[in-house]
Amino acid sequence: MSDWGIFAAMLRRDLRIELRTREALLAMGFYALLVMVIFSFAFSADAALTARAGGGLLWVAFLFAALVALDRAFLRETAEGALVGLQTSPAPRAALLAGKFASSFVLILGLEAILLPLFAVLFNAPAHADWGGIALTTVLGTWALAANGTYFSAMSVHVRQRGLLLPLLLLPVSIPAILAMVQATQIYLGGEGVANYWLQLLAGYDVIFTALGLMLAEMALEVE
């Protein structure tokens, strides 16, 4: 099988499991919704708050949802020795990791597509907000989280405190990406024109860390 075939097989398999069980989508969707509802109480959300800090509120909710999804990404593989099967297969590690990344990316993005309108309603997003820009930021930002998150999820699968370790690894490395996605979203929410340089930073971050993850894929999936 070609590398692309392996990549596509991984992606198809993960999405099929998800469509049949819907466990990650339901759990993480409900979790993110809860976070948004709690935020709206905790910060007494109104239009003024959204105009000032909406980008941050939105992305913290997305971040929580992504962490749940990414934590599950490799947990599923521990069932019935699937992981050992992957690790001992002759498939290139980069293709396996890329397939895993793609399925997480699609999953999180699908969830965000549902959450974004909910956010707009719950937080009274300004009418002049640029939703095209926000959608673009969401795609680039989710790519960043999913790329590094998949890598660290693979890395932490053997670790005792796996659920704790993933955010500890993912969040520090994601600081520039989080800064960029929050700032860009904030600019688009206020309809203050284009957030070009934040999007460029995000795109650059995506390219660099996707490449790094693929180059070091061997390390993340190595047999102990």
Partner 1 sequence: MSTPIPARTAWIPLAGAGTLALLLVALWWALIGAPTEATMGTVQRIFYYHAPAALAAWVAFGLNAIASMAYLAKRSMRADALAVAGAEVGLAFLTINLITGPIWARPVWGVWWVWDPRLTLTLAMWVMYGSYLILRQLTPEGGLQPRLAAALAIFFAADIPIDYMAIRWWRGQHPSPVLFGGADSGLAPRMLVAFLLSMAAFLALMGFLVWLRYRQELTRGAITRLKQQRALAEV
| Binding interface with partner 1 (CB under 8 A) | 148, 151, 155, 158-161, 164-165, 168-169, 171-173, 175-176, 179-180, 183, 197-198, 201, 204-205, 208-209, 212, 216, 219-220, 222, 224
Q: CB nearer to partner 1: give 118 or 179.
A: 179
Round to whole Å and give the CA distance between 154 and 57: 28
Task: Give the nearest distance from C-beta 207 to partner 1 in angstroms.
Answer: 11
Q: CB nearer to partner 1: give 17 or 165.
A: 165
Task: Give the nearest distance from C-beta 183 to partner 1 in angstroms.
Answer: 7
Cβ proximity of 177 and 145 under 8 Å: yes
Task: Give the nearest distance from C-beta 78 to partner 1 in angstroms.
Answer: 15
Residue of 108, 36, 22 lying closest to 65 (CA atoms): 108
Task: Give the nearest distance from C-beta 154 to partner 1 in angstroms.
Answer: 10
Q: How far is CA 183 from CA 45, 158, 201, in A?
A: 19, 35, 11
Q: How many CA atoms lie within 13 A of 75 on its CB side?
A: 15
Q: CB nearer to partner 1: give 29 or 213.
A: 213
Q: CB nearer to partner 1: give 118 or 171.
A: 171
DSSP percent split of the chain into helix, strand, coil, nearest 5? 85, 0, 15
Task: Give the nearest distance from C-beta 197 to partner 1 in angstroms.
Answer: 7
Cβ proximity of 140 and 199 under 8 Å: yes
Cβ proximity of 141 and 59 under 8 Å: yes
Q: CB nearer to partner 1: give 24 or 136.
A: 136
